Amino acid sequence: MAAVELPGMMGRELGTREGYRVVELYIGPQHPASGHMRLIVYLDGDRVVRVDPDIGYVHRTMEKLSEVREYVRIISLLERMTIIDACNITLPYVEAVEKLLGVEPPPRARYLRTILCEVNRIASHLYGLGIGGIFLNHSTMYMWAFGDREVFVHLASLLTGTRLTHTYPIPGGVRLDLPQVFREEFEKAKRYMLRRLREYDKVFLNNPVIRGRLEGVGVLPRSRAVALGATGPNLRASGVRYDARLLGYAAYGELDFEPVVGSEGDALERIWVRLREIEASLELIERALRQLPEGPFMSERFIRQVPPAMRKWFERGRVKLPGGYVRLKAKPGEVVGRGEMGRGEVTYYLVSSGDTKPYRLRVVTPSARNVVLFDALARGHTLMDVPAIYASIDYFPPEADR
């Protein structure tokens, strides 16, 4: 078979099938249009016949590693799956552990978890928009989104003390209380981001060149989105009103939450949904700060176990728990935890045998579900549409490989 030479890609001619000359093209696994995975694209001329996503280049065996670690120590492991969306991916796990432990977090902790989840969601969307800018050769969008993302990474560090891997929700509450400076910093961040979103619309979303690359490309009809099991903004852009936050976990049930839903289902609409979700997240954070209840941020059950001399740390807004907290024993049983990440729904299935460590832990991440869209959306389009479709899916390889 003849080799095909293309800049930055490997290919080979497969011969003729049904009268067409078919070429197999390898993109990645280290290519600007593939991320940490490889796309095997079958072409007839420059028309895409099929796309096989070749995943597994960042496989970390997190599910198996969780079987040899205590429940609390697993939190810092799981947030490595989506390091840019750490609270959203760990919160459903923490809530599942709380079901096994039979403990309820106090209302203030639920609101603080919600605030961090929305800060993470904005940072995650800005990351996806920046990467999408690279795919579409729009370097301004890449630099703006990554620069603006720092505003929300800073907010997360004010609340948790860390930039990316927060390990903030823990069974029974959160690690730190809200600092005084957070409200003022958030107000500044909100005013800035709303102004920037108008500039994003003008320079990126309504740019005629970008619209030409995205509009009518990779259309995902509503019925097909449901049949394929798409999730997150990719599902809502097709007109499906589904968001795991509607389940009311954390404090979402008390914040009158309404998801952003599109109608067209093309690449442009998927990016539009993410931009509007940034506005919605800013509104949710403001509402949560306004309704934030007074009171403890850690369950009384665990505070009582702390020696009196160490309880002064709680008054200073910090958790200082005894060593025995790490070896919490859960009652035997099976539980499911669900939550909405920046890229869609994450689901945990947790089995306890009554030990200090899980008997089994399984996780389904949004990127593991959305990977099917590469083939479903690209067929019939040109090779140049593949990066545009990738940009609109907002796929994150480590999240899928887990």
Q: Quick: pLDDT tens for 131-176.
A: 999 989 999 999 999 999 999 999 999 999 999 999 999 999 999 9
Residue position matching structure tokens 């552990």: 97
Q: pLDDT category, 58, cuts 50, 70, 90?
A: confident
Q: Which of 38, 54, 70 is the last residue of a domain?
A: 54
pTM of the model: 0.92
Number of H helices, E strands in the chain: 16, 10
Better pLDDT: 56 or 200: 200
Which pair of tokens denotes residue 304?
């009582």
Same domain assignment for residues 241 and 344: yes
The span from the CA of 157 to the CA of 166, in Å, is: 8
Same domain assignment for residues 236 and 370: yes
Same domain assignment for residues 242 and 294: yes
Is residue 351 within 8 Å of residue 111, measured between CB atoms? no
Any idea how long the chain is? 402
Same domain assignment for residues 33 and 81: no
**Neighbour tally for 300: CB within 10 Å:** 13
Is residue 247 within 8 Å of residue 336, measured between CB atoms? no
Better pLDDT: 102 or 304: 102
Q: Is the pLDDT of residue 396 over 80?
A: yes
The span from the CA of 398 to the CA of 366, in Å, is: 11
Closest CA to 93 of 183, 158, 19, 169: 169
Q: Is the pLDDT of residue 26 over 90?
A: no
Q: Which of 54, 82, 97 is the last residue of a domain?
A: 54
The span from the CA of 305 to the CA of 303, in Å, is: 5
Same domain assignment for residues 42 and 83: no
Same domain assignment for residues 300 and 376: yes
**What was the pLDDT predicted at 308?**
79
**What was the pLDDT predicted at 381?**
94
Same domain assignment for residues 182 and 87: yes
382: domain CATH number is: 1.10.645.10
Same domain assignment for residues 48 and 75: no
Residue position matching structure tokens 């005084």: 180
Q: Quick: pLDDT tens for 244-275.
A: 999 999 999 999 889 999 999 999 999 999 99
Q: Quick: pLDDT tens for 218-249.
A: 999 999 999 999 999 999 999 999 999 999 99
Q: What is the extent of the structural domain holding 36?
A: 3-54
Same domain assignment for residues 286 and 305: yes
Query: Which of 17-21, 112-116, 338-342 is predicted least confidently?
Result: 17-21
Q: How many domains does the chain have?
A: 2
Same domain assignment for residues 38 and 108: no
Same domain assignment for residues 126 and 45: no
Closest CA to 251 of 303, 320, 301, 297: 297
Same domain assignment for residues 7 and 105: no
- Section 344-349 average pLDDT: 96
The tally of CA atoms less than 13 A away on the side-chain side of residue 91 is 30
